[in-house]
Amino acid sequence: MQIAILLYDGVTALDAIGPYDVLKLMPAADVRLVTADAGEIATDGPLKLVAGETIESVPRPDIVVVPGGPGALAASRDERVLRWLCGAHDHTQFTTSVCWGSELLGTAGLLRGVRATSHWLVRDELAGHGATAVDERVVVSGRIITSAGVSAGIDMALRLAALSAGAEVAERIALTLEYAPEPPLAGAGSPRTAAPELVAGLRAGYARSRS
């Protein structure tokens, strides 16, 4: 099973690496890190990733994973990437996104009429792509699976593993990774339960970054 994880400058590392560490453990998984131009990719921090293949060299993957990050908006304007997403989606078993990776799926026209989610700061923007935005951590809409912010990519990948290879395989992967979250900051990870001043501060910062 060929799995293509799209990289681009400004990607959030965990959005890509979280699903990678899950999906590489699936039986017969052939995981490819792809980008418009093969080589070193700058993440949204000091970490750099290396994509060994171009998107054109992996035209018909079985699964596509589109991570998010502050570079997603620029990546969504790259016609090569959008053409590849559309062409690949014609053949995938599943096309997926993490966090703001949904921006690329939406710009490619893949979310019209689809229930979808994203990072809470940008979730409402999905409506501009014809999607129905829902406040859920992972949303399965036929062949399209979207997930909320950053850490939700691991949950998405485990759900994907269960759909692709069966619940027993997904459970074995979860056990291998010892995936048993115990968040140390109760309530802080969701805008529904975090302190209102924290939520307001992040919203204001995001608005300033877009102005």
Calpha distance 91→86 (Å, rounded): 9
Residue 142 sits in the same domain as residue 109? yes
Residue 161 sits in the same domain as residue 202? no
Domain count of the fold of the chain: 2
**The pairing of beta strand 30-35 with beta strand 2-6:** parallel
- Looking up tokens 């959008």, which residue turns up? 82
DSSP string covering 152-169, please? HHHHHHHHHHHHHH-HHH
Backbone CA torsion sign across 55, 60, 65, 66: positive
Residue 60 sits in the same domain as residue 142? yes
42 three-state secondary structure: strand
Residue 165 sits in the same domain as residue 199? no
Calpha distance 132→149 (Å, rounded): 17
179-210 pLDDT, tens digit per residue, is 999 999 989 999 999 999 999 999 999 999 88
Q: Which of 102, 84, 107 is nearest to 4 (CA)?
A: 84
- Answer whether residue 211 shows pLDDT above 90: no
Residue 7 identity (one-letter amino acid): L
108-139 pLDDT, tens digit per residue, is 999 999 999 999 999 999 999 999 999 999 99
Residues forming the active site: 99
- Domain holding 164, by residue range, is 2-180
